Amino acid sequence: MVFRSAREPALAIRCRFGGEVALRFNGKDMKEAVLKTDQFEMRILDFTPDRMRIQVRNPGQPFNFVPRFLDIAYPDRTIAVKDTGIIAIATGKTIEQVVDFQERVRIEPFLMMDLRYARRKLATITVE
């Protein structure tokens, strides 16, 4: 089961309950959402219960992106990302990274969760 943008019919998501669902990050469609921090801008390119493909852009000073600092926080528990090493990003550069979750992410209609980096909330993810 692949969770992608519901904006285009080919990218709509089939839920295990039989309907189609969409993922929204801070109220925006997944393909349109840009998650900004002091150090980087991140886009979610693809999202499955096992992994997430992201694009990280560095508009400012060079920094080290650490994928293991990402996690999905539910109200009752947190799902971390497997450690894949540190990535140095130069000024103005963009990288694509696939991050694997340590366990499957539970995605059900009307569920809300937070995407965090280094314990700071990047976005609220809603399943519609």
CATH class of segment(s) 9-127: mainly beta
Q: Over 70: is that where the pLDDT of 17 sits?
A: no
At 9, is the secondary structure helix, strand, or coil?
helix
Domain ranges of the chain: 9-127
**Of 9 and 107, more confident:** 107
Give percent of the chain above pLDDT 70.
85
Q: Over 80: is that where the pLDDT of 83 sits?
A: yes
Residue 110 binned pLDDT confidence (cut-offs 50, 70, 90): confident
Contacts of 76 (CB under 8 A, 6+ apart): none
Burial of 10 (0-12, 13-18, 19+ CB in 10 A): exposed
pLDDT number for residue 9: 42
